[in-house]
Amino acid sequence: MLEWGTGMDRGARVYVAGHQGLAGSALVRRLREEGRPDPIVRTRAELDLTRGADVEAFFRTERPEYVFLAACRGGGIRANLARPADFIRENLLIEASVIHAAFLSGVKRLLFFGCACLYPRDCPQPMREELLWTGPPEPSSEAFSAAKMAGLALCEAYNRQHGTEFITVIPATLYGPHDDFDPETGHVLASLLRRFHEARAEPAVSVWGTGRPVRDFLYADDLAEACLWLMKREETPPGPLNLGTGRGVAIRELAEAVRSVVGSTARIEFDPSRPDGAPAKVLDVSRARALGWSARTPLFEGLRRTYEWYLSRN
Quote the radius of gyration of the chain (alpha carbons, Å).
19
Q: What angle do CA 22, 255, 275 make, to 5 degrees?
A: 80
The answer to whether residue 275 sits within a structural domain is: no
CA torsion sign, 125 to 185 to 197 to 275? Answer: negative
Q: Which domain holds residue 114?
A: 14-176+217-246+283-296
> Is 139:275 a contact under the CB 8 Å cutoff?
no
Beta strands in 212-266 (DSSP E): 214-215, 217-219, 241-243, 249-250
pLDDT lower than 70: segments of the chain: 1-7
The whole-angstrom separation of Cα 40 and Cα 256 is 40
The answer to whether residue 290 sits within a structural domain is: yes
φ/ψ of 155, rounded to 5, equals -60, -45
The answer to whether residue 259 sits within a structural domain is: no
The answer to whether residue 163 sits within a structural domain is: yes
Query: How far is residue 184 CA from its own chain's centroid?
Result: 18
The answer to whether residue 303 sits within a structural domain is: no
Q: What is the pTM of this model?
A: 0.92
**CATH, residue 41:** 3.40.50.720
SS3 286: helix
The answer to whether residue 252 sits within a structural domain is: no
Span 145-190, pLDDT tens digits: 999 999 999 999 999 999 999 999 999 999 999 998 987 777 889 9
Count the domains in the chain: 1
The answer to whether residue 209 sits within a structural domain is: no
